[in-house]
Structure 1
Amino acid sequence: MKLTVYLAGEIHTDWREEIRSAVGDLDVTFTGPVTDHAASDDCGAIILGSEEKKFWHDRKGAGLNAIRTRKAIADADVIVVRFGDKYRQWNAAFDAGQAVALGKSLVVMHGPDHAHALKEVDAAAQAVCETPRQVAEILRYVLKGDVPA
């Protein structure tokens, strides 16, 4: 078996790389959003033309990013959504909702401080965890049926 895993959510820490390293030789292909914050924010204005109003600047970027995100989520077997501590990640919650609407398997990762705020998102997930290592172990179990020693 092979999995395609979309890694959604916060872009300010190296959690994606931690998961990639921890899965080792598992047959997993990872996809995700553009994690260069400036590129993600400004892509619409750079490609389609600048805007005087921030709303339209952001709207253009959001539209282009949505094309990438929709395709990647639709093609993924598992969606992992990481909610970080520093910023409100409305986009991450939206990605989780898209995953659920498409019937995708959802793994949510966040610290205990977000448990109450994310209770509805957590309830829709097949697994809720706190660390990249746990995500890797979930993927190992799904692919191999192995549990950590």
Structure 2
Amino acid sequence: MNARFITAIAACVLFLSGCAGHDKPAEQTITYDPVMRFKGTLACSDCTAIGADLSLYQDIQTGEPKGYVLNETHVDAPGGNFTSTSWGEWSKDLQPQPPVYRLVVKSSTVRTTERAFELKGDVLSPLEDHDSEHAHELRRMAPLAPVK
């Protein structure tokens, strides 16, 4: 009986050592910034320039767009400087290289309903500015405050 007992214990030890968990490689999860913020100047037809501050909100797990806010300060406009705010939905076209970001205005004092920007590195440039002699761009900045 002693030999059977020792054999049973040895079999249990071997069985349990075979069941020991093997470390799986950690799943690689990609997280996205909840806010991508860009700041710079845009062209203006009736003022010196437009100071722009654009925040693009996205889901931190999927990177799916969740909306945007664009503040634009018209410098030396008739009647003085003024700021307008627009917001709405945004999307990213990956097929053209560099990628194109499209903003669809939901509510705004701005007359246009869609605007498109090309992303090169950390710089967004308006697509309608390609033929302009003055380069206008928005550079990527850190968000003002953490988003929870």
Please confirm whether the aligned pair reaches a TM-score higher than 0.5, indicating the same fold. no
Q: Determine which structure has the larger helix proportion and give its number.
A: 1
Bin the TM-score by the shorter chain. Answer: under 0.3
Q: TM-score, normalised by structure 1?
A: 0.24
Higher relative contact order (CA 8 A, sep 6+): 1
Q: Which has the higher strand share?
A: 2
What's the TM-score once normalised by structure 2's chain length? Answer: 0.24
Larger C-alpha radius of gyration, 1 or 2? 2
